[in-house]
Chains A and B, each alone.
Chain A
Amino acid sequence: MDVLKTAFLLSVIALFVVATPRVAPAQGVDAQMLLHPPADSWPGYHGDYSGRRHSALTQITPQNVKNLTLAWAFQTDQRAEIKSSPLLVDGILYFTVPDNIWAVDARSGHQIWHYTNPKDKGDHIGHRGVAMYKGYLFFLSPDAHLVSLNSKDATVRWDITVADVSKGYWTTMAPLVVGNHVIVGVSGDLDNLPGYIRAIDPETGETQWQWNATPPAGTPNQTTGGMTWMTGTYDPDLNLVYWGTGNPTPVLNGKTRPGDNLYTCAIVALNPDTGKLAWAFQVSPHDTHDWDAVQIPVLVDGDFHGEPKKMLMQASRNGYFVVLDRTNGTNLLTVPYGPVNWSLGVDKQGRPIPNPAKEPAPDGRLIAPDEGGLTNYRSPSFDTKNGLLIVDAHPSWSIYFTKPADGAYGWAGADYDVWGKGVIEAIDYQTGKIRWSHELGPRGSGAGVLTTDTGITFTGDAMGNFLALDSSDGKTLWHAGSGARTQSSPITYQLDGQQYVLTSSGGVMFAWTLPEGL
């Protein structure tokens, strides 16, 4: 099948769909919706495929955002914090914590159903959300199963194993649906295990392909690791999926894995139909600090120093902001966006050069950023109008140790945070310069970022305030104390002519909107 032709045809259809009020009954998610999400939907982890987490909705503006009011709040009644990004399809929201999915009416915030999968096995560190294809949800469980459920009533359609929990794998991520592929990644860096990306048939649950980030465990002198625990992005024109890979293992001891440790801490471009690697760019060659490069690979088309480019940008956990030509992986820019002291500069390919003197050592090494990194899994947002990648940054310092007695399995060392804070940074993508920054408080925030066409940046601070900032200068336009820190990224949608912004903190989901009649 000619994918480009199909994509073109689909986008033509999508334009028509967007322009026409949707009166059809609930049908779930189709390819058109994923390519061009209508205003009343958020059908994938990032909203659309680009990872920009930027909305064209214009009802809420810098002028009226101060009037934002609570439409509803939903209590999960769980100790686990919401780390997932909700989906919105046919007026119903779907979000998760480990072992739990809720379907919630996006108008009222009341529960339609609650699915629990209390298998008690696997690591319950977090859950990022579900994916949807037609009327079916896809949910990765902590014991590394992919469960397909009927979105109407949460009945299980099939349940397959994507990784062996007994070896030390677990899963947290929201799958990416591309065509008839449900693309999933795995977690598991407490053990020396290879990471991989797998495409699964949404109808049958059968594996279509698997791409391995690293060789099998036990391969001499080779690394393991490269976990694939965040949702990638997709360019339908190039028909490439972009995915970040995690740190190598053993984590803090690099001596048994000499060299660059491909493909750990890398951004990879894969053909979604075959799993074939088109190119890879390693953001942290030979990492020894746990700096996964799984942060969202944000896809932007635009001008780069006078030339039109199809770009991919990532504010990476290791402290570097990278811009790539996403057609072939060529590096356009690599600059730090906060304190970084572990590299000897950048090589000819644009990769940071790790300083051997800053690898963990028996008597400790002072390292910036800390293990959590200069940013982590929560989404940044690309503000088209101002040309800014806006990211929740975490300037920080820590001390890293490893000694022969720590061995060469799993963690293989110890590290301790010394100091950190949270700052929203607006990075000029052409230079890497920080256009503006907004302090969020001690330790750091953990809130992702959403921007809108009217020039608003939604995020949260380190004390639990939801914030709306002016995207042009970072000034605060609105806030609301939520009682707990945010660990997720906001979304927005328009239903019945009313724009909503969804933010979570702790175990509560909040929906914000303008008062009626305003």
Chain B
Amino acid sequence: MKWGGIFYGMKSLGLFLRWNVLQLIPLFMVLAVSAAQTPTPSAPARSAVKKSGTVARKSYPPARVQSGATLFRRDCSFCHGRDAGGGETGPDLTRSKLVAADVGGNKIGALVRNGRPEKGMPRFEFSDQQIASLVAFIHTQKNKAPTKKGGRKGVDVADLQTGNVEAGKQYFEGAGGCASCHSPTGDLAGIASRYQGLELEQQMLYPKHEKSKVTVTTGSDQTITGTLDYLDEFTVGLIDATGAYRSWRTRDVHYKVDAPVNAHVEQFPKYTDDDIHNLMAYLQTLR
């Protein structure tokens, strides 16, 4: 059976991983001890970074990595996985661009303290010491990731190449209705250069940061159009042409939201998975 080989392969991977996770802390100790025996010992690797010019092989003091592992497990693992390889809703940090660009916590620290409310990540009030331990843990996991077999690995650009360009083009121009709002030579020109892989697919399915327009007609028949900034059932707020925020009680005005992005929501129940893969294949030609 086709799946037989993969099945047994995965089982042994599972056992390996299970061992790996259970032995997480001792493993860190081993790694850290071996690291400590290299010429860059417990001194914070900042100097080492400057010398080598890369963060890829930096090592951290074992105690710091261990306290980072504990803190990570306490507050981060639910979303990012125990090994930082991704979990419920949170991305794989060992493949994160931000982690790759981080030097000694200069990116991770700010992100953790500010959160990413738009993506559902809360802020954390961590001390400098706690941030340093998290950074040590995340970078250690990142360094280990290439040699690790299995575990959540996210989505590669190569995974998203199963579609058919021609079928995607037909869907775009026909059944999908995409062409009624978008143009391959207009707004989508070069889209595949701006976004790749999973990010492109997410943009295609629903562009989360697209702003809507709103037109508000006040009691005195004044009409104001702007970018919708806030809306609940009680208050409507917009950014007007001068860049100023203005708001009204919804019961005092008439307002009309123009949100072409909602066409994406209407499309969800109509898509087949093949439609999506074909559409991806087509969009990836728009470089």
**Which A residues form the contact surface with B (CB < 8 A)?**
79, 81, 120-125, 142, 166-168, 190-192, 217, 250, 253, 255-256, 290, 339, 341, 357, 361-366, 368, 371-372, 397, 399, 401, 403-419, 439, 441, 443, 461, 463, 465, 476, 479
The reply to whether A124 and B89 form a contact with Cβ atoms under 8 Å apart is no
11 A-B pairs, CB-CB below 8 angstroms? A120-B71, A341-B269, A363-B163, A364-B273, A366-B205, A366-B276, A368-B268, A409-B14, A411-B152, A414-B92, A479-B233
Given contacts A256-B11, A419-B268, A461-B233, contact A401 B86 (CB under 8 A): no
A407 to B268, CA, bound (A): 29
In the complex the two chains form, is B75's CB within 8 Å of A124's CB? yes
Pairwise interchain contact B74-A121, C-beta atoms closer than 8 A: yes
Q: Could you tell me if A404 and B89 are in contact, using CB atoms closer than 8 angstroms? A: no
Size range of the interface on B?
A: 35 or more
B74 with A124: CB separation less than 8 A:
yes
Q: Which residues of B contact A412 (CB under 8 A)?
A: 152
The segment from B15-23, B36-44, B165-173, B175-183 that touches chain A is: B15-23
Q: Which candidate, B27-35, B117-125, B216-224, B240-248, is the interface stretch facing chain A?
A: B117-125
Q: A191-B82, A256-B10, A368-B268 are in contact. Are A407 and B276 (CB under 8 A)?
A: no
CB interface residues, B 225-250, toward A, < 8 Å: 230-234
Q: Which residue of A lies closest to B22 (CB)?
A: A167
Q: Which of A399, A417, A418, A441 touches B232 (beta carbons < 8 Å)?
A: A441
CB distance B265 to A79 under 8 Å? no
Chain B's nearest CB lies how many Å from the CB of A105? 28
Alpha-carbon gap, A372 to B3, bound state (A): 30
B56 lies within 8 A of chain A by Cβ:
no
Complex CA gap A461/B231 in Å reads 12
| A364 and B9 in contact, given A250-B14, A256-B14, A405-B150 (Cβ under 8 angstroms) | no
B276 and chain A: residue at smallest CB distance: A366
* Known contacts A122-B74, A190-B82, A364-B276; A401/B155 CB under 8 A: yes
B160 and A364 form a contact (CB under 8 A)? yes
Cross-chain contact B11 with A408 (CB below 8 angstroms): yes
Given contacts A255-B10, A363-B161, A399-B201, 7 further A-B contacts (CB under 8 A): A122-B74, A166-B22, A363-B273, A372-B89, A404-B10, A405-B150, A419-B268
* A409-B70 in contact (CB<8A): no
Q: Give the distance to chain B from A343, nearest Cβ to Cβ, in Å.
A: 14
- In angstroms, Cα B123 to Cα A491, docked, is 28
Docked CA distance A343–B50 (Å): 55
A363, A407, A463: the one contacting B14 at CB < 8 Å is A407
Q: Decide if A255 touches B159 in the complex (CB within 8 Å).
A: no
Q: Are B10 and A407 in contact (CB under 8 A)?
A: yes
Question: Which residue on A lies nearest to B158, using beta carbons?
Answer: A362
Given contacts A401-B159, A407-B17, A410-B82, contact A366 B202 (CB under 8 A): no
- Bound together, the chains give a CA A79 to CA B160 distance in angstroms of 39
Chain A proximity of B73: nearest CB distance (Å): 6
Distance, CA A372 to CA B13, complexed state (A): 28
CB distance from A317 to the nearest CB of B (A): 12
A165 vs chain B, min Cβ distance (A): 9
Is the beta-carbon distance between B73 and A404 smaller than 8 angstroms? no
A410 contact set on B, CB distance < 8 A:
17, 21, 81-82, 87, 151-152
Question: Does A363 contact B159, Cβ atoms closer than 8 Å?
Answer: yes
CB pair A416 B198 closer than 8 Å: yes
Contact: B86 with A414, CB < 8 Å?
Answer: yes
